[in-house]
Amino acid sequence: MTSANTPKREDVEIFIRLFDAHLAQSSTTTSSPESIIPITYRDDTNSPSDTVDPTAQLELFKSKLPKSEQEYFGRLAEQRRSAFHANQAQRRQAYLHSLLVQLPPFSLSQQDKAHLRSNSARQRRLQDLQTFCKRFCTPSNIGVRPFFAALKRLLEAQSSDRYGRRLQWLLDDAVLMETGGDDFMQSAVYILKAVLHFEENKPLDRATLNPFSDEISTKPNEQDTEGVENSEILRIWTIPAHLGNLECASLARIIPSHVLPKRGKGSSPAYANGALDRLARDDEEQQSLSIVELPTGSLRYAPLTTASRDADYRGGWIEWIIDWVVSFVRIH
């Protein structure tokens, strides 16, 4: 004996299939159209046509519901929506993990490192970053703006380094997974790892992270995604040793200034008022890992146990002159 407010089983099954198809159709992260299941009705006189899209079918179905059943189907819709978003979050986490695994750990021979410092390699990095920015860093693409703003500030901060220390970017995986879709996530990971050669370290759980004392694993990430897909994860991206100050400055200039907050278009807050000097001094005197906030995530100096930057990270006089001329031409 069923309650008067309990809908028929076949109506519940139809609603679930319609609602799931509607979610799959409306989601920008749906990987394939096969998830939209064809709908078959027992009563063709009371059901919408199979040729209508799932959203229209769902609206027509809901319009025919008696008021006594609307609350039930409303709760059911929320349950299905929550399950769908959880599944999508797990899929994005697995996709990010696969992208990181496909790019090998940063381990280069001396010959490879010498090539990365060549003029041709530097030009290639500039060109690839410029292509990436032209595609995604547009005024209308607001969702990815914090990512580009943070990357710009990070490179600017590293370009002013006077201690030969590498900076680390503590970035939530959600910034890569949820701000610009799969295409952006794939391109951003490729830029960070394969083009700029950032070192990607073991992720940390935001809830348990103590940024002033936690040690960072220098091993490449091999963590299974099972069980972490729904948690907030901070991943540590370390600037490679071969990126010198001048190249970091050139790379930072590639990223348009419109990504920065209006109040931050002047000097970078990452090293304004000697912030980086304080970071280095605190790290050496107190062994702390002080943090400076970025538009998304935060930066800090890598631990003292981490390899320092290449000896000529400041560049020579000729490089300084060339860089000054290039920056002058860009401004004018």
* Percent of the residues in the chain that have a pLDDT greater than 90, as a whole number: 25
Residue 251 binned pLDDT confidence (cut-offs 50, 70, 90): very high
Whether 32 shows a pLDDT value over 70: the answer reads: no
For the stretch 202-221, pLDDT in tens is 766 555 444 444 444 444 44
- Mark 150-160 as b/e (b = at least 16 C-beta within 10 Å): bbbbbbbbbbe
Residue 249 binned pLDDT confidence (cut-offs 50, 70, 90): very high
Q: Is the pTM of this model over 0.75?
A: no
- The sign of the CA dihedral 182, 184, 187, 192 is negative
Best mean pLDDT range from 20-34, 38-52, 91-105:
91-105
Q: Taking Cα atoms as reference points, which of 294, 181, 282 lies closest to residue 234? A: 294
Whether 306 shows a pLDDT value over 90: the answer reads: no
For the stretch 109-131, pLDDT in tens is 566 667 888 889 999 999 999 99
Whether 173 shows a pLDDT value over 50: the answer reads: yes
Cβ atoms 238, 105 nearer than 8 A: no
